[in-house]
Amino acid sequence: MNRSNRLLGMRSLFVLLAAFVMWSCEGPVGPAGPAGADGVNIVAEVFEVEGDFTQAGNFGIRGEYGFDILESDKVLIYRLGGLDQDGIDIWRLLPQVEFHPNGIFTYDFDFTYYDYSIFLNGDFNLNILESGYTDNQIFRVLIIPADRIDLRMDYSNHSAVLEMLGVDENDIQRKVLN
């Protein structure tokens, strides 16, 4: 056996021994981490808003949370799209594209740390939209704290998001805007 093969064999044996030793080591449990901000458990906020999209309102509705959110929080807004065959609400994540006989328009939103806006954008005159698209529209606003954000989650699945947040349908309050 030549010198280079012997060195290679010794290196392999050393790596194998080192891996075994590190794998089999176990130490004491470390100290508990620090409490959250001022020891407060941050929870998600979920509420419904109802409003009308009018020319006077520039085809938008605006609301305030009633509290400030953190820069790291995520805001999601869903539009009530109707009922399924079992009578269960269908919630669609914004932005939502609608195909109308006169063109395409979207329900979209933006937000700041203290308020949000939901608005229509279209490639045609939005004044001709039927009232089913503009009047008494219902949306759900979900504010997800940064520590609850899961990048692997399908946020278009409204029920799964509520379940992840531990929010019960019966606890969701509705505000009327405009």
Q: Where are the domains of the chain?
A: 42-176
Strand ranges (DSSP E) for the chain? 45-51, 60-64, 74-83, 89-93, 96-100, 103-111, 115-122, 137-144, 173-176
CA distances from 178 to 10, 33, 64, 135, 136 (A): 78, 46, 12, 11, 10
Which of 14-18, 35-39, 81-85, 120-124 comes out lowest in average pLDDT?
35-39
DSSP annotation of 173? E
pLDDT digits (tens, 9 = 90+) for 129-170: 999 999 999 999 999 888 878 778 888 988 888 888 888 888
Q: Which residues contact 141 (CB under 8 A, 6 or more apart)?
A: 45, 46, 47, 48, 49, 63, 65, 75, 76, 77, 116
CA dist 149 → 12, 114, 124, 136 (Å): 43, 20, 37, 31
Q: Give the predicted TM-score (pTM) of the model.
A: 0.73
**Closest alpha carbon to 175 in 144, 143, 142, 138:** 138
pLDDT of residue 39: 46
pLDDT at residue 36, as a whole number: 47
Question: Strands of 96-100's sheet, edge to edge?
Answer: 60-64, 115-122, 103-111, 96-100
* Per-residue pLDDT tens over the stretch 85-134: 888 899 999 999 999 999 999 999 999 988 999 999 999 999 999 999 99
